[in-house]
């Protein structure tokens, strides 16, 4: 992997600097929004199930439209897609100011789902754009920084969001969220973003839509190693959706001596530190790229084992639980960045957006199933928080083992021989 430093990359590459800063600013605001939504749901409904519904709606909309979003990222200017997404979210974030009781929770969750679709447009376009603004030697550093920055935005945004909501209420968080989208848009306006776009002069959008979506999946299936790696993030999220989307929120709600919003911020702060450390360690420690595919399964197993210890620590010293959450998400962060780099290196520019959309589609379906089931199990009193965490942790370990032993690339090589 490249040894290009983070500081050198940001200082010397103006296009990447703008792309990176715009994403960081927007992500900071997103976590202000998320913490506020958690508090509104628990304040007005006290429903664990609705927490799962919130994540299910957000991720389901994100998942179902990913094939079209990926096609848009290959057919249209990625820069323009990011700008339009930011401006639309700046307006929609202010609509949450109208939430004033339990009767507003349904449309609030639906609106959050619409914002997640727009976030999916931004994320797919941004991730597909990174190889367009950095050299091949800078790619690993750029992805590690991008992933670590998402995590930094999570830790800082969640903690500050918790403090802002505790001190000034949810309205302040929604206003700040809107302003961050506007600031990110200003940064993008002068971005120089080259892009290769397929020539579609002979066919229109509607006629070629499903054919282009099919091409993205055909590209994935044509290469067994790519087909396997597309399931890397989903293999963690089949249990991680419930753990990170429901159980961490409930852990924060049960922190004694602090407000619920601060508790949410604390555990999402820990999650962000972990997912920030993971990519940095992966960049510097795992230098043999040929071992990355098998390493991903081991990282999922490691994250599951650490989350089992998180469940075991519930009710004990708070700092122990926080440290374990950090370590568990360090492994998940490494999984994310390694799998992302492999897809970027293996897939050509003109179809990369559709391949990433398939990656996000599979991830989102796994996350939606996981979080909605976790919310239902808590609402029906099937598990308490501690039991739920430990059961989901076991599922994550099993998922990591299955990913490790599933080797379609090896079978393909054997058949070819």
Residue 65 lies in a domain: yes
How many domains does the chain fold into? Answer: 1
Residue 2 located in a structural domain? no
Given pLDDT bands bounded at 50, 70 and 90, which one contains residue 414? very low
Whole-prediction pTM: 0.74
User: Per-residue pLDDT for 1 more than 50?
Assistant: no
Q: Which domain holds residue 346?
A: 8-193+209-416
Read off the pLDDT band of 198 (50, 70, 90): low
330 within domain boundaries: yes
| Residue range 176-191: mean pLDDT, rounded | 92
Query: 237: pLDDT confidence band, cut at 50, 70 and 90?
Result: very high
Phi, psi dihedrals of residue 201, rounded to the nearest 5°:
-60, -30
Looking at the domain assignment, is residue 201 inside a domain?
no
Q: Does residue 199 belong to any structural domain of this protein?
A: no
The reply to whether 32 falls in a domain is yes
Model confidence at 105: pLDDT above 90:
yes
**Which pLDDT score is estimated for 415?**
45
pLDDT of residue 231 exceeding 60: yes
Question: Residue 108: which CATH number?
Answer: 1.20.1250.20
Average pLDDT in the 320-332 region?
93
What pLDDT is attached to residue 199? 56
């Amino acid at each position: 992997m490249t040894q290009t430093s983070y500081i050198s990359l940001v200082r010397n590459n103006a296009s990447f600097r703008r792309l990176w800063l715009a994403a960081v600013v927007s992500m900071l605001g997103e976590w202000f929004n998320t913490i506020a939504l958690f508090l509104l749901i628990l304040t007005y409904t006290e429903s664990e199930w609705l927490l799962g519904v919130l994540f299910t709606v957000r991720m389901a909309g994100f998942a179902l439209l990913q094939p079209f979003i990926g096609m848009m990222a290959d057919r249209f200017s990625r820069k323009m897609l990011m700008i339009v997404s930011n401006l639309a979210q700046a307006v929609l974030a202010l609509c949450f100011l109208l939430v004033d009781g339990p009767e507003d929770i349904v449309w609030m969750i639906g609106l959050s789902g619409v914002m997640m679709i727009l976030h999916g447009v931004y994320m797919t376009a941004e991730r597909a754009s990174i190889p367009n603004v950095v050299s091949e030697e800078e790619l690993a550093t750029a992805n590690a920084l991008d992933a670590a920055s998402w995590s930094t935005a999570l830790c800082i945004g969640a903690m500050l969001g918790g403090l802002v909501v505790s001190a000034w209420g949810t309205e302040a968080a929604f206003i700040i969220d809107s302003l961050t989208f506007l600031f990110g848009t200003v940064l993008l306006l002068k971005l120089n973003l080259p892009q290769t776009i397929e020539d579609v002069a002979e066919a229109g959008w509607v006629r070629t839509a499903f054919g282009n979506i099919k091409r993205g999946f055909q590209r994935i299936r044509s290469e067994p190693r790519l087909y396997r790696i597309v399931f890397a993030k989903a293999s963690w999220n089949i249990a991680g959706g419930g753990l990170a989307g429901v159980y961490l929120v409930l852990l924060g709600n049960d922190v004694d001596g602090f407000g619920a919003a601060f508790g949410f911020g604390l555990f999402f702060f820990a999650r962000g530190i972990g997912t920030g450390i993971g990519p940095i360690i992966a960049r510097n420690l795992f230098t043999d790229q040929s071992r990355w595919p098998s390493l991903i399964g081991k990282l999922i197993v490691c994250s599951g084992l650490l989350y089992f210890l998180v469940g075991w620590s519930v009710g004990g010293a708070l700092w122990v639980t926080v440290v374990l959450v950090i370590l568990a998400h360090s492994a998940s962060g490494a999984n994310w960045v390694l799998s992302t780099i492999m897809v970027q290196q293996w897939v050509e520019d003109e179809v990369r957006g559709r391949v990433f959309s398939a990656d996000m589609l599979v991830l989102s379906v796994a996350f939606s199933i996981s979080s909605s089931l976790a919310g239902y199990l808590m609402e029906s009193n099937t598990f308490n928080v501690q039991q739920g965490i430990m059961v989901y942790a076991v599922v994550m370990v099993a998922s990591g083992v299955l990913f490790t032993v599933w080797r379609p690339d090896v079978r393909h090589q054997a058949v070819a021989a």
